[in-house]
């Protein structure tokens, strides 16, 4: 959520937000929002004036009644009745205006950084750097599904039989690999000063609204029938919500991390990435979340830091990757600046997104009511940042495919071996 005072300051700010909304594909009329804001404030003043008049007349009635001035009392009672009728009408209109106003306000996007590329989709993202070289295979390439089946690690047909499309089983050493990657990521983040959390997987509507995943992300979220509960698509939601409505100490940035199951409905992706583990309904993520002072330079430094943490993990996994500056059209409503990390996936013959880093400024904290006291003692909204340290089973795609050997075995990167009971290679 943006500061409405800033939006009211002038046409230039309003035009900027309208342009960003258009670029991000958000159906929002900033002009309509400003008209509703003006109407809401005017009506609020009128309602307050009517209430003030009613209270004043009520006191006057009490005085006149004590003095026995019945005729004058009846006249003022008639005035109070008229005020109450008018007040009832205006309060109803004000409630309706507030509903429309809040609906539009919930769609307002964050501002974007000056170095964010302008574009319509992920095709317009800009490569920042590339690390490692895609392997060249001197033998017929196997994809992760074939490798997984060969080693009894992945069973998609039974996943579909049990839970429907985009579901799967990981079995045997596949589970060990899945957990090993997560634990490596968690251990790395602990070394970087992050505090670990085990978080709720079900969250309330309020938590998703406050963290700006709603209203625009409702179609991607599984709802618990007859409950005000939803399955979280990322632990970012419960991690940020941990401090909602609180005043926190961010003298040192609060660094939070969690490994959790995540759920995504994948509405709108019918027929897209249907083979394998790239796009599934249930997955596990290790998430980084940071809360810090409202300092642009500091938040940029922290964005680079959490991105570097994810890169370090990929380097430990010995995987080639590239870092992309995400364009306006590929950004979410809440994002000020974003990097995606794409890892080389041989079977796709291209890089595929595996990580994402975002700086949200105070957009999320303003919605969530998370504040801190600055050096003057004044209350200010925190800045928040987040990054996917690793998401599995998607990371298994490059991990299996890049490290496959001609005989069908799979080499285990050295950094993972302590988490795999010392196994150096998955053999047939």
**Active-site pick, 235, 241, 347, 356:** 356
- Evaluate whether 401 touches 146 at the Cβ level (below 8 Å): no
**Active-site pick, 40, 86, 279, 417:** 279
Query: Rounded to whole angstroms, what are the CA distances from 208 to 258, 297, 336?
Result: 17, 28, 18
Cβ atoms within 10 Å of 281's Cβ, excluding its own: 18
Bridge partners (DSSP) listed for residue 257: 196, 288
Residue 165: name the closest of 244, 83, 258, 272 by CA: 272
**Active-site pick, 142, 166, 264, 367:** 264
**Active-site pick, 353, 357, 368, 371:** 353
**Active-site pick, 142, 166, 367, 394:** 394
Active site residue 394: yes
Tokens 């940071």 -> residue: 290
Active site residue 353: yes
Tokens 């900033």 -> residue: 30
Active site residue 54: no
- Beta strands 383-392 and 350-359 are antiparallel
Cα 350 to its chain centre, rounded Å, is 26
Tokens (6 digits) for 51: 């209430």
**What contacts 27, CB < 8 A, 6 or more positions away?**
107
Distance in angstroms (rounded) separating the CA atoms of residues 154 and 144: 9
* CA-derived radius of gyration, the chain: 27
Tokens (6 digits) for 88: 């009832």
- Evaluate whether 234 touches 334 at the Cβ level (below 8 Å): no
- Evaluate whether 49 touches 29 at the Cβ level (below 8 Å): no
Annotated active-site positions, please?
264, 279, 353, 356, 394
């Amino acid at each position: 959520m943006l500061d409405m005072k800033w939006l009211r300051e002038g046409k230039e700010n309003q035009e900027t937000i309208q342009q960003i909304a258009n670029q991000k594909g958000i159906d929002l009329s900033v002009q309509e929002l400003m008209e509703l804001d003006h109407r809401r404030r005017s009506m609020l003043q009128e309602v307050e004036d009517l209430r003030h008049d009613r209270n004043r007349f009520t006191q006057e009635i009490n005085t006149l009644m004590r003095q026995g001035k019945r005729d004058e009392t009846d006249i003022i009672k008639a005035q109070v009745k008229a005020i109450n009728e008018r007040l009832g009408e205006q309060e109803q209109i004000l409630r309706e205006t507030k509903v429309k106003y809040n609906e539009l306000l919930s769609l307002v996007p964050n501002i974007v950084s000056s170095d964010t590329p302008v574009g319509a989709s992920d095709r317009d993202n800009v490569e920042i750097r590339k690390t490692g070289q895609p392997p060249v295979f001197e033998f017929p390439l196997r994809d992760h599904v074939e490798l997984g089946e060969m080693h009894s690690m992945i069973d998609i047909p039974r996943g579909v039989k049990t839970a429907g499309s985009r579901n799967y089983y990981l079995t045997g050493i596949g589970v060990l690999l899945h957990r090993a990657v997560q634990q490596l990521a968690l251990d790395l983040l602990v070394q970087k000063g992050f505090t670990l959390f085990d978080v709720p997987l079900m969250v309330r509507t309020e938590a998703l609204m406050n963290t700006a995943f709603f209203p625009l992300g409702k179609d991607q979220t599984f709802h618990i029938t007859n409950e005000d509960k939803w399955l979280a698509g990322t632990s970012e939601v419960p991690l940020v919500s941990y401090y909602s409505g609180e005043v926190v100490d961010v003298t040192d940035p609060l660094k939070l991390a969690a490994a959790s199951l995540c759920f995504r409905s994948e509405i709108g992706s019918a027929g897209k990435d249907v083979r394998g583990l790239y796009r599934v309904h249930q997955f596990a993520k290790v998430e980084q979340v940071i809360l810090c002072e409202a300092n642009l330079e500091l938040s940029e430094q922290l964005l680079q830091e959490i991105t570097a943490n994810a890169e370090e993990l990929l380097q430990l996994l010995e995987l080639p990757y590239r870092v992309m500056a995400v364009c306006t059209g590929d950004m979410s409503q809440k994002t000020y600046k974003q990097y995606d990390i794409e890892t080389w996936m041989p079977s796709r013959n291209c890089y595929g997104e595996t990580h994402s880093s975002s700086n949200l400024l105070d957009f999320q904290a303003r919605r969530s009511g998370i504040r801190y006291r600055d050096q003057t003692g004044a209350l200010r909204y925190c800045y928040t940042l987040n990054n996917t340290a690793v998401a599995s089973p998607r990371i298994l795609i490059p991990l299996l495919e890049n490290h496959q050997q001609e005989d069908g075995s799979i080499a285990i990167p050295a950094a993972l071996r302590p988490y795999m009971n010392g196994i150096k290679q998955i053999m047939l």
